[in-house]
Structure formats: C-alpha cells, structure tokens
C-alpha cells in the first residue's frame, strides 16, 4: 500500500482497488460477528471482583457501627468516601459516594445546575442559551446529557496535552453564556491522552474568567486505569481550583474496577458544591446502597485496589497491543490513518483521511464488524471532517480483536482508495 494515494497514478489505484475488493469480499464471506463498539470490561475482568459476593459474611456494620442495611447516609459511607477522595485527590469531607453510575451523578449535576443552581450560583436556565465547552473528540454520553437538557455544545480541539486552552480562554472572554466545560482528564475517552500539568493549571484558573455558576466537569473515569507499565501522572486539580476560586465537579466510579453494572460512584467538589448537591439528591432518594458500598470497602482496602488494577492491566494490555500491531503493520508512515497510543483507559482513537470514516464504518458493518458510528465522538453526532472512529478492544477475546483489526484495516484501505478514485 503506498504511503500517499494523492500521488498514485490512476491505473495503480484501480489495481489496488480490485485487490482490496477481493480481500474485502473474503472477509464478508467469513461470516464474522465481531463488535468493537462499547468500552465494556470483558467477562474475565468482571471475574476479578467476584469476591464481592459474600465478602461481608453477614456483617453489615460500618466502621461507625451503623447498620448499612437501613435507610440514610446520603453522603455515602465515610470509609468509602475516603477511598473516593484518594482516587480523586480530595478530602473525604468534600467527596460523596453514590450508586453504581457516575453518569447518573453527572446528569443530576447538570440538571440541578440548570434548574436550581448549585453552590449558591444562579441557575443556568437564567441564561438565554446556556452553553458548555466540549473538547473533541469526546465522550458521547456527556454530549447526550447536554443535548437532553437543551445545553448548547461548543467544540474545542483536543490536543496531545489536553484541550486547546487558548481557544477555551478566548471563548470564555467573548461569550458570557458559557456555563461549563467537560473534561476526561486522564486517558481521555476516546483519545487516551492525559492532560499536562500546564493544562490542568489553566483549567483550574478558569473560574474568575467565567460567569458565576461556571462549573468545570472533571470526569476522572480512568484515574487508576493504566495499561502501560508506567502510567501517566495527572496533576490534582482540587487544591489549584480551590486556591483560584474555580468550581470543579469531579466524578469517578468503580465501573471499570469491579463489576461494571454493580459498582459505586463518587463526586467531589467544594464544600458548598457537595452540600448543595446532597440537598438536591435528598429530594430524589433517602440514601445510596450502603451494603454494596461496604462490600467495595472490604474488597478495595489494603492493597485490594492496586491488585485488581494489575489484573485488569494484564488482561487489557495484550488487546491494546494487538490493535497497535495491526495499525502499525498496515499504516506506519502512511497518510491514510493516524491513531492514539494510550498508556491507559479503554479506547484507541483513529483518524482516517477526511470524509472517509463513515464509509469505513459502513464497510465494516457489511463485513460483520460493528464499530462505533462515525460522528459519535462529536456533539450532535456530527464530525465535521468525518474522520474520527473510536475503537474499544476491551470486551472481545484477544483472537476476536486480532480478526477485527484485519477487517478494519482492509476497510480503511478500501474506503481511502475508493475516495481517491472518486475525487479523480
């Protein structure tokens, strides 16, 4: 495959196209049923936490002697809040522990901020059109929350060290309807990058540049999720933000640590933010599932967390290596595809030539390989360049990841050649 198609003579391109079509046809005839769409842990990863079952052995008492089976404890178990605080680089007093989904806490945060205002700030709905800054490519479910709540999304380019902060600061200076900014600061979904110290510091200083009520949304879903032997460091934002007067809402969960559908979640922020959040949550519930919280404390305390994460790393690293191996074998030095090489998290982000990504996804689907829809990593499902595709290799078996990548690489090559021929 030539590194560049634009300099390739037409007859050579036509020859390439027919060879790739034949290869693609063979993939179609192989009756694949492969799926690289969602970043779910594999069954073997879930098995790592099966000790949760029965771990309490009938002892439902928390450290303070309270009975976890009963109502109450809106802030979550103190011992679990301490664990969440360690994960997020805050204090237990400024951290709450909730149910299985951090996404639920994010949704409530935006809903409450819009309807009622949080931490004494005016409600976002007082703005004619509240807007949130969204580094792209980004996480589709963050975008879905904004869309559902009628919050306009403004995209900002994601770079190798985090969002384009010049653009962020310029946008804040010119638009007083911007009420927040999404971030996945470590092993970002989907690019896998970790924000640099300089970027974290600039984000922590945004508060005074913005309108009252501005909220930095800091979704640290992959705080301890290293794939490489040496993980990325992330500067703790909480003390910096507190010193600068910037309100930051941090989130995390054990979804990719223990059982994805039966874990615990965390939210941290200033005392005022946390207390106003708890006040609102108290209308919606009497307390979280403290029995599950106690089970998590028992499993994760005293080195349990580190041991589990090493187990995940051992299962994930070969799958990510298989993706890297296939991509570099097919596209090293080629202009057809660029991709991320994350040190952790759940995703590899690829960029095709402009205008090619949706054709790649359609070709792969017809060959029995489900990929995340092109555009899903952008607000409103619109990738203006039609380039980005998110690959999630955690769930399929290693063998299936290898097969999927062969089909994927063939589809990228075929779609790129087709486009070059169509453009003359």
Ligand X SMILES: Cc1ncc(COP(=O)(O)O)c(C=O)c1O
Q: How far apart are CA 213 and CA 179, in angstroms?
A: 6
Residue 416 C-beta: closest distance to ligand X, Å: 29
Residue 339 C-beta: closest distance to ligand X, Å: 18
Q: Are 421 and 51 in contact (CB under 8 A)?
A: no
By CB under 6 A, which span of 96-104, 171-179, 301-309, 358-366 interacts with ligand X?
96-104
Residue 344 C-beta: closest distance to ligand X, Å: 12
Q: What sections of 155-232 are H helices per DSSP?
A: 165-174, 197-204
Q: Are 415 and 359 in contact (CB under 8 A)?
A: yes
Q: How far apart are CA 50 and CA 311, in angstroms?
A: 13
Q: Which of 189, 258, 292, 413 binds ligand X (CB under 6 A)?
A: 189
State which residue, 39 or 344, has the beta carbon closest to ligand X: 39
Q: How many residues bind ligand X (CB under 6 A)?
A: 12
State which residue, 39 or 288, has the beta carbon closest to ligand X: 39
Q: Which of 17, 23, 91, 101 binds ligand X (CB under 6 A)?
A: 101
Structure tokens at 240: 């910096």
Residue 168 C-beta: closest distance to ligand X, Å: 19
Q: How far apart are CA 126 and CA 277, in angstroms?
A: 19
Residue 378 C-beta: closest distance to ligand X, Å: 15
Residue 408: closest CA among 373, 372, 363: 363
Q: Which residue has the tokens 């063979």?
A: 26
**103 sits near ligand X (criterion: CB under 6 A):** yes
**255 sits near ligand X (criterion: CB under 6 A):** yes
Residue 200: closest CA among 189, 213, 188, 212: 188
State which residue, 110 or 414, has the beta carbon closest to ligand X: 110
Residue 262 C-beta: closest distance to ligand X, Å: 10
Residue 133: closest CA among 248, 220, 217, 221: 217
Q: Which of 45, 49, 94, 102 binds ligand X (CB under 6 A)?
A: 102
Residue 304 C-beta: closest distance to ligand X, Å: 19
Kind and range of the H or E run holding 178: strand 178-183
Q: Which of 24, 27, 36, 39 binds ligand X (CB under 6 A)?
A: 39
Strands 388-391 and 95-98: what pairing? unpaired
**184 sits near ligand X (criterion: CB under 6 A):** yes
State which residue, 82 or 250, has the beta carbon closest to ligand X: 250
Q: Which of 221, 299, 350, 407 binds ligand X (CB under 6 A)?
A: 221
CB atoms within 10 A of CB 197: 13
State which residue, 359 or 383, has the beta carbon closest to ligand X: 383
Q: Which of 265, 334, 343, 377 binds ligand X (CB under 6 A)?
A: 265
What are φ and ψ of residue 140, in 5° steps? -60, -35
State which residue, 39 or 76, has the beta carbon closest to ligand X: 39
**95 sits near ligand X (criterion: CB under 6 A):** no
DSSP sequence for 8-42: S-HHHHHHHHHHHHHHHHHHHHTT--EE--S-PPP
Strands 265-268 and 337-339: what pairing? unpaired
State which residue, 219 or 226, has the beta carbon closest to ligand X: 219
**219 sits near ligand X (criterion: CB under 6 A):** yes
Residue 219 C-beta: closest distance to ligand X, Å: 5
State which residue, 185 or 213, has the beta carbon closest to ligand X: 185
Report the greatest alpha carbon distance in the chain.
Answer: 79
State which residue, 84 or 213, has the beta carbon closest to ligand X: 84
Residue 347 C-beta: closest distance to ligand X, Å: 8
Identify each DSSP E strand in 42-126 by its residue range.
95-98
Residue 408: closest CA among 355, 358, 371, 353: 371
* Residues of this chain, 138-157, that bind ligand X according to CB under 6 A: 139
Residue 141 C-beta: closest distance to ligand X, Å: 7
Residue 206 C-beta: closest distance to ligand X, Å: 20
**322 sits near ligand X (criterion: CB under 6 A):** no
By CB under 6 A, which span of 51-59, 101-109, 166-174, 234-242 interacts with ligand X?
101-109
Cα-trace Rg, the chain: 23
What are φ and ψ of residue 77, in 5° steps? -65, 130
Q: How far apart are CA 417 and CA 4, in angstroms?
A: 10
**182 sits near ligand X (criterion: CB under 6 A):** no
Helical packing angle, 78-88 and 290-300, nearest 10°: 60
Tell me which residues touch ligand X (CB under 6 A). Answer: 39, 101-103, 139, 184, 189, 219, 221, 253, 255, 265
């Amino acid at each position: 495959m030539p590194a560049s198609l634009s300099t390739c003579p037409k007859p050579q391109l036509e020859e390439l196209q027919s060879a790739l079509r034949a290869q693609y046809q063979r993939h179609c005839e192989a009756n694949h049923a492969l799926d690289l769409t969602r970043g779910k842990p594999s069954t073997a990863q879930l098995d790592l936490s099966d000790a949760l079952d029965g771990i309490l052995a009938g002892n439902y008492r928390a450290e303070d002697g309270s009975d976890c089976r009963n109502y109450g404890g809106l802030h979550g178990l103190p011992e679990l809040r301490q664990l969440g605080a360690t994960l997020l680089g805050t204090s237990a007093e400024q951290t709450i522990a909730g149910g299985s989904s951090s996404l639920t806490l994010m949704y409530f945060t935006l809903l409450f901020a819009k309807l009622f205002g949080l931490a004494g700030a005016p409600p976002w709905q007082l703005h004619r059109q509240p807007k949130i800054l969204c580094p792209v490519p980004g996480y589709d479910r963050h975008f879905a929350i904004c869309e559902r709540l009628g919050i306009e999304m403004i995209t900002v380019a994601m770079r190798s060290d985090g969002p384009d902060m010049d653009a962020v600061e310029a946008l804040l200076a010119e638009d007083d309807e911007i009420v927040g900014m999404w971030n996945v600061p470590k092993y970002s979904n989907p690019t896998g990058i970790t924000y640099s110290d300089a970027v974290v510091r600039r984000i922590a200083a945004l508060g005074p540049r913005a309108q009252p009520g501005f909220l930095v949304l800091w979704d640290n879903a992959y705080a301890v999720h290293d794939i490489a032997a040496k993980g990325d460091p992330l500067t703790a934002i909480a003390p910096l933000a507190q010193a600068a007067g910037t309100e930051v809402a941090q989130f995390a969960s054990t979804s990719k640590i223990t059982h994805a559908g039966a874990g615990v979640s965390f939210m941290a922020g200033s005392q005022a933010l946390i207390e106003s959040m708890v006040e609102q949550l108290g209308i919606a519930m009497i307390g979280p599932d403290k029995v599950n919280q106690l089970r998590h404390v028992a499993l994760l305390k005293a080195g349990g967390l580190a041991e589990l994460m090493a187990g995940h790393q051992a299962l994930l690293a070969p799958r990510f290596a298989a993706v890297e191996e296939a991509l570099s074998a097919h596209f090293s030095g080629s202009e057809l595809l660029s991709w991320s090489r994350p040190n952790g998290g759940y995703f590899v982000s690829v960029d095709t030539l402009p205008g090619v990504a949706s054709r790649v996804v359609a070709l792969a689907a017809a060959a029995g390989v489900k990929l995340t829809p092109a555009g899903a990593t952008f607000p409103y499902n619109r990738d203006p360049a039609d380039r980005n595709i998110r690959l999630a290799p955690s769930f399929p078996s290693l063998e299936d990841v290898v097969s999927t990548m062969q089909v994927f690489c063939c589809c990228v090559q075929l779609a790129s050649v087709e486009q070059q021929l169509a453009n003359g």
